[in-house]
């Protein structure tokens, strides 16, 4: 039986309430509904969240177009004669929207309603520790999952809010291809967009206060940055933006460096300095939900430390900002909350990839983290694409795989090169199943493939031991046996 509140809202109950229809929220709603539970899903924006509409999907569609442009430009390196490519920006934007539209039905309201989920397209907030309300609905729930994701940080730079700027949420709708795109921030988003717009024909300058791609392995990050600079992208590291001036299409940034102050001008500005959790409309205090600037404070299984009804998944959980991590968090919730399994949201094996060309990725501990924990017992084994026959045949030999190990145990890896994100999954699977370097030598890798670098790197760890003087002597003795 349905009742109404004094405010006129419809009052209902549910097993699970989910706030946010991004990767994490949709996965939770789907899993709970398929297990036969009553689910209410709130989403005030677009179904599919940031990844589908403003992040992973449109950015990779744009990067693919840019890659095609670069392939044409460099075709002469393979003795192919072509003309100078020109981009139709309106056509590119239409292509991006068509990609989003093709994927959107998987995340659509209709699909989830077909599963039995009650989808409410309104802003949701706590009114007490067990009740969520929107404009038209008030839901008392046994479990509440917060999956509101994150949004672009806009730094408190003098003059910035009074000038036109773009973020990942609207850059794909920019009316014209920028003549000179200034990018504030040299992280994954900034560097991916830098390469994409440069290859499409824009002049691009990236301004980074610290080290570009600072969360990636230093050796591989440096190689990628050099590749981007060689393409013609200007990357100003160690430069802090202190003020934004000028007018639309004639912006000026004031930069502070160790050598003093300088200025740079451009037509457009993309702000990509990081992301912050979306919490402002939730009224978390009324729900008794503790939080900090990173997001909801949770236990190892993603359950709120202060309200046992509440769980957090994805960016809002403060444990990383990746679509694949949000999906993983959803599985943790289903196991821990619904199936009562002793599951933890372990992130030490979390893979991360930046989709510049060449790609750069890592999984597990970095080399520095491994040495901090295990000291001089750490060994680094590597294999470069310059020794990989497929890479040589394709004239794409930049990059390598570096594995960090202690006595054959895989602690982490860093990889840079074409297809790094796909190849890295072999190491990720091995780590998730607690396989050793020896296990990575046992499979048969088809020839010629780039993924051979995984087996070759692992094998290089054992080669000195296998062909040591002692083993050679033993083999010589064994040859005396008829």
Q: Residue 274: what pLDDT?
A: 94
Higher pLDDT, residue 84 or 452: 452
Give the tens place of pLDDT for each residue, 150-200. Answer: 999 999 999 999 999 999 999 999 999 999 999 999 999 999 999 999 999
- Residue 247: is its pLDDT beyond 80? yes
Sign of CA dihedral 187, 53, 23, 295: positive
Give the tens place of pLDDT for each residue, 418-442. Answer: 999 999 999 999 999 999 999 999 9
Give the tens place of pLDDT for each residue, 65-123. Answer: 999 999 999 999 999 999 889 999 999 999 999 999 999 999 999 999 999 999 999 99
Q: Residue 22: what pLDDT?
A: 96
Q: Residue 415: what pLDDT?
A: 97
Please state, in angstroms and rounded to a whole number, the distance separating the CA atoms of residues 464 and 93.
Answer: 54
Q: Residue 1: what pLDDT?
A: 39
Q: Look at residue 416 and give its three-state secondary structure.
A: strand
- Residue 346: is its pLDDT beyond 90? no
Give the tens place of pLDDT for each residue, 24-52. Answer: 999 999 999 999 999 999 999 999 999 99
Give the confidence band of 465 by pLDDT, cuts at 50, 70, 90.
confident
HEC assignment per residue over 135-154: CCEEEEEEEEEECCCEEECC
Q: Look at residue 48 and give its three-state secondary structure.
A: coil
Per the CB < 8 A criterion, the answer to whether 138 and 25 are in contact is no
Nearest to 196 by CA among 65, 5, 101: 65
What's the gap between Cα 194 and its chain centre? Answer: 16
Q: Residue 480: what pLDDT?
A: 85
Higher pLDDT, residue 416 or 5: 416
* Lowest mean per-residue pLDDT among 264-268, 279-283, 471-475: 471-475
Mean pLDDT within 214-222: 95
- Residue 240: is its pLDDT beyond 70? yes
- Residue 234: is its pLDDT beyond 80? yes
Please state, in angstroms and rounded to a whole number, the distance separating the CA atoms of residues 244 and 269.
Answer: 10
Q: What angle do CA 190, 46, 324 make, to 5 degrees?
A: 55
Percent of the chain with pLDDT over 90: 90
Q: Residue 472: what pLDDT?
A: 79
- Residue 264: is its pLDDT beyond 60? yes
Give the confidence band of 464 by pLDDT, cuts at 50, 70, 90.
confident
- Residue 8: is its pLDDT beyond 90? no
Supply the mean pLDDT for the chain. 94
Mean pLDDT within 308-326: 95
Residue 360: φ, ψ to 5° = -135, 130
Q: Residue 462: what pLDDT?
A: 87
- Residue burial 156-186, b: 16+ Cβ < 10 Å; e: rest: ebebbeebebbbbeebbeeeebbebbbbbbb
Please state, in angstroms and rounded to a whole number, the distance separating the CA atoms of residues 302 and 336.
Answer: 9
Q: Residue 3: what pLDDT?
A: 62
Per-position DSSP letters for 355-370, written without gaps between them:
-SSSEEEEEE--HHHH
Residue 230: φ, ψ to 5° = -65, -30
Query: Residue 448: is the preceding peptide bond cis (ω within 30°)?
Result: yes
Give the tens place of pLDDT for each residue, 187-208. Answer: 999 999 999 999 999 999 999 9
Q: Residue 474: what pLDDT?
A: 83
| Residues whose CB is less than 8 angstroms from the CB of residue 273 and which lie 6 or more positions away in sequence, other chains included | 153, 155, 184, 185, 187, 190
Q: Look at residue 411 and give its three-state secondary structure.
A: strand
Mean pLDDT within 279-292: 96
Q: Look at residue 297 and give its three-state secondary structure.
A: coil
| Residues whose CB is less than 8 angstroms from the CB of residue 341 and which lie 6 or more positions away in sequence, other chains included | 335
Q: Residue 124: what pLDDT?
A: 97
Please state, in angstroms and rounded to a whole number, the distance separating the CA atoms of residues 199 and 203.
Answer: 9
Q: Residue 4: what pLDDT?
A: 64
Tokens of 136: 């038209």
What's the gap between Cα 482 and its chain centre? Answer: 59
Q: Residue 6: what pLDDT?
A: 60
Q: Residue 44: what pLDDT?
A: 96
Distance in Å from the first CA to the final CA of the chain: 87
Per the CB < 8 A criterion, the answer to whether 453 and 400 are in contact is yes
Give the confidence band of 235 by pLDDT, cuts at 50, 70, 90.
very high
Q: Residue 469: what pLDDT?
A: 81
Domains of the chain: 3-47+108-152+276-338 (3.50.50.60), 160-273 (3.50.50.60), 358-466 (3.30.390.30)
């Amino acid at each position: 039986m349905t009742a109404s509140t004094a405010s006129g809202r419809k009052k209902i109950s549910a097993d699970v309430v989910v706030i946010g229809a991004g990767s994490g929220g949709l996965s939770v709603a789907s899993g709970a509904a398929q297990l036969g539970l009553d689910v209410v899903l709130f989403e005030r924006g677009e179904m599919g969240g940031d990844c589908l509409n403003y992040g992973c999907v449109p950015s990779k569609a744009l990067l693919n177009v840019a890659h095609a442009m670069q392939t044409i430009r460099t075709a002469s390196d393979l003795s192919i004669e072509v003309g100078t490519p020109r981009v139709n920006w309106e056509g590119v934007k239409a292509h991006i929207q068509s990609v989003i539209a093709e994927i959107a039905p998987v995340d659509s309201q209709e699909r989830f309603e077909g599963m039995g989920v009650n989808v409410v397209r309104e802003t949701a907030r706590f009114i007490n520790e067990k009740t969520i309300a929107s404009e038209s609905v008030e839901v008392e729930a046994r479990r509440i999952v917060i999956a509101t994701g994150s949004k672009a940080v806009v730094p408190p730079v003098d003059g910035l809010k009074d000038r036109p700027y773009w973020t990942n949420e609207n850059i794909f709708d920019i009316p014209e291809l920028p003549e000179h795109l200034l990018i504030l921030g040299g992280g994954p988003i900034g560097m991916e967009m830098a390469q994409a717009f440069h290859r499409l024909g824009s002049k691009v300058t990236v301004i980074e206060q610290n080290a570009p791609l600072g969360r990636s392995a230093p050796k591989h990050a440096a190689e990628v940055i050099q590749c981007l600079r060689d393409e013609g992208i200007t990357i100003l590291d160690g430069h802090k933006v202190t003020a934004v001036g000028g007018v639309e299409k004639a912006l000026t940034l004031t930069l502070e460096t160790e050598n003093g102050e300088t200025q740079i001008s451009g037509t457009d500005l993309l702000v990509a300095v990081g992301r912050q959790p979306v919490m402002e409309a939730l009224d978390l205090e009324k729900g008794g939900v503790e939080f900090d600037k990173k997001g909801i404070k949770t236990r190892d299984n993603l359950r709120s430390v202060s309200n046992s009804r509440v769980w957090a998944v994805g960016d809002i959980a403060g444990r990383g900002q990746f679509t694949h991590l949000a999906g993983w968090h959803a599985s943790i919730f289903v196991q821990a909350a619904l199936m009562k399994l002793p599951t933890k949201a372990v992130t030490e094996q979390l893979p991360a990839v930046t989709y510049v060309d060449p790609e750069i990725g890592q999984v597990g501990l970095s080399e520095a983290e491994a040495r901090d924990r295990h000291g001089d017992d750490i060994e680094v084994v590597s294999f470069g694409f310059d020794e990989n026959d497929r890479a040589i045949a394709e004239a794409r030999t930049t990059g390598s795989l570096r594995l960090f190990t202690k006595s054959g145990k895989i602690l982490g890896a860093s990889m840079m090169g074409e297809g790094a994100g796909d190849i890295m999954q072999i190491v990720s699977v091995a780590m998730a199943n607690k396989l050793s370097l020896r296990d990575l030598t046992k499979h048969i890798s088809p020839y010629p493939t780039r993924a051979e670098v995984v087996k070759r790197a692992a094998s290089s760890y054992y080669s000195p031991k296998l062909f040591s003087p002692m083993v050679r002597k033993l083999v010589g003795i064994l040859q005396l046996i008829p």
